[in-house]
Chains A and B, each alone.
Chain A
Amino acid sequence: MKGMSIIVKKICQILAPVIFLFGLYVVAHGHLTPGGGFAGGVIMASSFIFQIIAYGSILPKLRHEEHGLEFLESGAILGFLVIAALGLILSGTSIFFAEFLNKGTAGNLISAGFIPIENIVVGAEVCAGISIIFMALAVFKDEVTK
């Protein structure tokens, strides 16, 4: 895929980190404000997609990135399951998905037990998933046009 003009590239260079940061904010405040893992993950992925569209891509490099993201995606789902299973072991009640951390004060950033951790894992998973879907389409398009 070919890159776009210098103006688009420059704007993207300035905006992409901000978008990514905003995604991180949405994920981290998932238990306090609207949004959460899924919405934040999509925002983070859009920052990657933005860069690929603006700067263009080299097929082998894209494939390499895709493999790395696949790794992150599987790891994130595994992390989610591990936290759920820890509830089974650590909460002392042998209940799947049971709360095993301190709930803290409602409204604080560090509160609500393991829900923020689950949000972070879901954010990583969605970010990786959406990026993989986009890259698969980009790779497919490059292969067809070749």
Chain B
Amino acid sequence: MNSLVPLFILIPLGSAMIMSILGRFIKNFGKYLITLALLFLTGITFHLIINVPEVLVYKVGGFADVGNIPVAIYLVIDGFTKILLLIISLVGFLVALYSFSYTTQYTAERKFYILFSLMLAGMYGMVVSGDIFNMYVFLEISSMAAYALVAFGLEKHQLEASFKYQVLGGVASMLILMGIGFIYWQTGTLNVADIATQLPVGGVFIKFVAVLFIVGFGLKAAIFPFHSWLPDAHSSAPSPISAMLSGVLIKAIGIYVLFRLFFNMFALSYELSLAITVLGVLSMIIGGLLAIGQWDIKRLLAYSSISQMGYVILGVGIGMLVLSKGGSQVIAGFAIMGGLFHLLNHSVFKGLLFLSAGAVEYRTGTRDMKKLGGLAELMPVTSGTSMIASLAISGIPPFNGFFSKLIIIIAAIQAKYYTLAFLAVLVSIVTIGYFMKLQKFTFYNKDKKIWDKAKIKEVPFSMALSMILLAVLCLGMSLLAIPQFRDIFLQPAVKALIETVQYSVTVIGN
């Protein structure tokens, strides 16, 4: 057993508590601690991806299995988990760096970093846990921290958004807990790998539980009919938190679990795969169309998140459909790889877009595009990085978004879903439309507004540095399309999902 595994939960949770005690006496203790902790965890993640290719299974407490029944709480790190760990650590580190200057405007800075660490602990626990009930516990930890962080500014609209998020999040948690209860009643176990071997194949029971999970995790991931909380919550939160929520949280506690359970726990069925894919396509189209009409920068970005998550689900959903019909493993693998690649890319460019929106708000005090304009000369770093992220998310070569969208579209054509391929191209054009709107009304359009040049200047160093690093990543992650890098980062994740039954064999060994 690799003793690095529990560190992913121990370090963020421990630093939250240390900060809560020592942060009272030492000024700015929290920011340094969490930034260093995330840097360390990023290092561990890279070490695991590059040097430890096998699946890591860790039994908490070291309890041995009793007659083939796993008693201990399992922590599992396979290829798919590693991708999520990479996103959480890397984007989390850059967001923490950005927060250095950003949070000075708040009076309760210490509490901001405590909640931030708790949210990270919840997300790490969620992806590392191999046990469905512990997933639920960590889901609640990260959701509670997220509710508090959305309302952190304590203004009226923030409290309202947080309340809406809490109500819908509460409904989601209840449905998930109900699903877990049903599964425990049927199988008598909570270990994902063990459940996979115990669950009956087909039948009404499976469909009922699957629908509970689709609705529950769909609410957490803001898939189309369940998306109504996201534009409010993600636009009202402080900008670093928006980047974290949109870039990481909806993936770690929504999309990740959905895919993990539907590939590795339930047996793949055509109807459920179709349902997930249809929801993905609907959120892709409707999120995109709703984004066009927005005038609030962060609201536009929030709707765009719904649309881009649709791409991820579309890619992986095509893989599910092909696999459930018994089609070619190669095509399914290609589609899933496209989806996961887009998931990785989206966290980087959406994080960057939210951070640059935060930078604009930090200097000008408004997010309304009708009141902005002509900032390109005054804030060159913000404008440049925002432009790079916009190009990347719209799928312009040579940025990373182009390659992931290309792979998804090629996979859709190979799998003979021509309509889906066409829709993906169409929504991509819509995407470039609303991002050009954002660029024009925020950074260009010079005649519209004369800014006070003494007041509006470039953001402080730590914010600029973090945005530049993310912009470099937007370009650098295109390299993942090259086979050598793809084999290290993406192929293990695809392998973990595509070999559906192999998961329980590797984890519990029967």
**Min CB–CB distance A97 → chain B (angstroms):** 4
Which of B10, B17, B59, B61 has the most CB atoms of chain A within a 10 A radius of its CB? B17
Contact among A74, A81, A85, A94 for B1, CB-based, below 8 A = A94
Is the beta-carbon distance between A96 and B13 smaller than 8 angstroms?
A: no
Beyond A81-B13, A84-B10, whether A95 also contacts B59 by CB under 8 A is yes
Chain A residues within an 8 Å CB radius of B13 = 77, 81
At the interface, is chain A mostly helix, strand, loop or mixed? Answer: helix
Is the beta-carbon distance between A81 and B60 smaller than 8 angstroms?
A: no
Residue B18 at the chain A interface, CB threshold 8 Å: yes
Query: How many A residues are at the interface, by size bracket?
Result: 10 to 19
Beyond A78-B14, A84-B10, A88-B6, whether A98 also contacts B62 by CB under 8 A is yes
**Min CB–CB distance A9 → chain B (angstroms):** 34
Alpha-carbon gap, A99 to B5, bound state (A)? 18
Is the beta-carbon distance between B61 and A96 smaller than 8 angstroms?
A: yes
Contact among A78, A93, A94 for B17, CB-based, below 8 A = A78
**Min CB–CB distance A104 → chain B (angstroms):** 18
Residue B58 at the chain A interface, CB threshold 8 Å: yes
**Min CB–CB distance A139 → chain B (angstroms):** 16
Residue B134 at the chain A interface, CB threshold 8 Å: no
Beyond A81-B14, A85-B10, whether A96 also contacts B58 by CB under 8 A is yes
Contact among A71, A81, A98, A99 for B21, CB-based, below 8 A = A71
Alpha-carbon gap, A93 to B58, bound state (A)? 12
Alpha-carbon gap, A98 to B60, bound state (A)? 8
Chain B residues within an 8 Å CB radius of A3 = none
Contact among B5, B20, B21, B60 for A97, CB-based, below 8 A = B60
Residue B3 at the chain A interface, CB threshold 8 Å: yes
Which of A70, A74, A96 has the most CB atoms of chain B within a 10 A radius of its CB? A96
Q: Which residues B1-15 have CB closer than 8 A to chain A? A: 1, 3, 5-6, 10, 13-14
Beyond A81-B10, A85-B10, A96-B6, whether A75 also contacts B62 by CB under 8 A is no
Alpha-carbon gap, A3 to B59, bound state (A)? 52
**Min CB–CB distance A66 → chain B (angstroms):** 13
Chain A residues within an 8 Å CB radius of B6 = 88, 96
**Complex interface bits, B47-79 against A, C-beta within 8 A gives 1, otherwise 0:** 000000000001111100000000000000000
**Min CB–CB distance B428 → chain A (angstroms):** 45
Is the beta-carbon distance between A97 and B61 smaller than 8 angstroms?
A: yes
**Min CB–CB distance B383 → chain A (angstroms):** 42
Alpha-carbon gap, A96 to B3, bound state (A)? 8
Chain A residues within an 8 Å CB radius of B18 = 78
Alpha-carbon gap, A69 to B58, bound state (A)? 35
**Min CB–CB distance A136 → chain B (angstroms):** 13
Which partner residue on chain A sits nearest B4 by CB separation?
A94
Q: Which residues A51-75 have CB closer than 8 A to chain B? A: 70-71, 74-75
**Complex interface bits, B69-109 against A, C-beta within 8 A gives 1, otherwise 0:** 00000000000000000000000000000000000000000
Chain A residues within an 8 Å CB radius of B60 = 95-97
Which partner residue on chain A sits nearest B13 by CB separation?
A81
Alpha-carbon gap, A85 to B61, bound state (A)? 11
Which partner residue on chain A sits nearest B59 by CB separation?
A95
Alpha-carbon gap, A74 to B13, bound state (A)? 11
Chain A residues within an 8 Å CB radius of B5 = 96
Alpha-carbon gap, A85 to B3, bound state (A)? 11
Chain A residues within an 8 Å CB radius of B21 = 71, 74-75, 78
Which partner residue on chain A sits nearest B75 by CB separation?
A96
Alpha-carbon gap, A87 to B62, bound state (A)? 10
Which of A74, A78, A87, A98 has the most CB atoms of chain B within a 10 A radius of its CB? A74
Alpha-carbon gap, A87 to B20, bound state (A)? 24
Is the beta-carbon distance between A98 and B17 smaller than 8 angstroms?
A: no
**Complex interface bits, A76-91 against B, C-beta within 8 A gives 1, otherwise 0:** 0110010011011001
Contact among A78, A85, A93 for B62, CB-based, below 8 A = A93
Could you give 24 example pairs across A and B, Cβ below 8 Å? A70-B20, A74-B20, A74-B21, A75-B17, A77-B13, A77-B17, A81-B13, A81-B14, A81-B17, A85-B10, A85-B14, A87-B61, A88-B3, A94-B1, A95-B1, A95-B60, A95-B61, A96-B6, A96-B58, A97-B60, A97-B61, A98-B61, A98-B62, A99-B61
Which residues of chain B have a CB within 8 Å of any CB of chain A?
1, 3, 5-6, 10, 13-14, 17-18, 20-21, 58-62
Given contact pairs A75-B21, A81-B17, A96-B6, a sample of 10 additional A-B residue pairs in the complex whose CB atoms are under 8 Å apart: A77-B13, A77-B17, A78-B21, A81-B14, A87-B61, A91-B62, A95-B1, A96-B5, A97-B60, A97-B61
Which residues of chain A have a CB within 8 Å of any CB of chain B?
70-71, 74-75, 77-78, 81, 84-85, 87-88, 91, 93-99
The 7 closest A-B pairs by CB, nearest first: A96-B6, A74-B20, A95-B62, A94-B3, A78-B17, A97-B61, A74-B17
